[in-house]
Amino acid sequence: MGRFEGRFAGSRWGTVSGIPGVPVAEDEKTSKPSFEHLRTLLMALSLIAYVITQLSDKHPTQSKVLLGFTLFLFAANYYPWLNRQIARWVEHRRDDAVARNAFPKFREFVHRFGGFIDSRMNDTLHAIVLQEIVQRRADANVGFKLPNMDTWHSWWLYFWQGIDRQPRTMTELHAALMEFHSLVGTYTNICVTQIFEYLPANVRAEIPPEAKSSLNSFQQRYERFLGEYSQFAKSLSESRPALNGLPCWFSTPKPLS
């Protein structure tokens, strides 16, 4: 420890630029807030003086000087805050512009997903498993049992109707993207991967060739949908800071061999 460093150790004095032995009062740390308070006080006093001169109507020149000084202090005091507010407003406008442009394409993906869980269609995963596998077997093999498709269709229908009622802002778009990812992800993990990934080898061997062909056709359509939506979500996540970290990927099932 140097001669000066030891002298000031333990005192209320610090160092300047990290150089030991050069004392600086800790009060200097609060000089900036104190200066801001002083500006506010001067602005208030200047405004009061301006009002007094206006009421007296005897010092028009001094009144104008005080008014200019007050405006100067006001601008100096609140410019950083106003600048931040304007920047925030501009970013908010840019976010909402991206959201308005993205909503129509997003709505198309939501509509496309509905086709995979529509009970009126005969090419859905549930329809293929039921009509081409389960109903043609004498036993009810639990390996081919899927959760009720109405669970996802009801969720999807409510979501589909809801996005048309929402304002097309970044806040609403972000929430809708997150919910849709959850909807697609749970259907993929609970239904699709159960048939294409988790069937035991002996059960998979019992799938008729016609049914396997239908399942692989479904897999190709579904994989294409997941890939295109993932690219859309990834592009959005990179477009604005508000969408950073948006989930983009899904577990993609492989075709049956």
pTM comes to 0.67
**Which range has the worst mean pLDDT, 40-44, 139-143, 195-199?**
40-44
Return the pLDDT at 237: 92
User: What tokens does 207 get?
Assistant: 């799938």
Mean pLDDT of the chain: 78
CA nearest 163: which of 172, 152, 171, 155?
A: 172
Return the pLDDT at 51: 58
* Residue tagged 């000084």 (tokens): 69
pLDDT band at residue 15 under the 50/70/90 scheme: very low
Q: Tell me the percentage of the chain whose pLDDT exceeds 90.
A: 37
Span 2-7, average pLDDT: 47
| Angstrom distance (rounded) from CA 213 to CA 55 | 93
| Angstrom distance (rounded) from CA 111 to CA 113 | 5
Each domain of the chain, given as residue ranges in start order, spans 3-56, 97-243
Tell me the chain's radius of gyration from C-alpha atoms: 34
CA nearest 237: which of 228, 229, 246?
A: 246
pLDDT band at residue 176 under the 50/70/90 scheme: very high
pLDDT above 60 (res 226): yes
Contact 179, 159 (CB under 8 A): yes
Q: What is the pLDDT of residues 92-135, one digit of tens each?
A: 888 889 999 999 999 999 999 999 999 899 999 999 998 988 88
Q: What is the pLDDT of residues 47-91, one digit of tens each?
A: 555 555 555 555 566 555 656 666 666 666 666 666 677 777 778
- The three-state secondary structure class of 218 is helix
Q: What is the pLDDT of residues 21-53, one digit of tens each?
A: 444 444 444 444 554 565 565 556 555 555 555
CA nearest 105: which of 250, 241, 239, 257?
A: 239
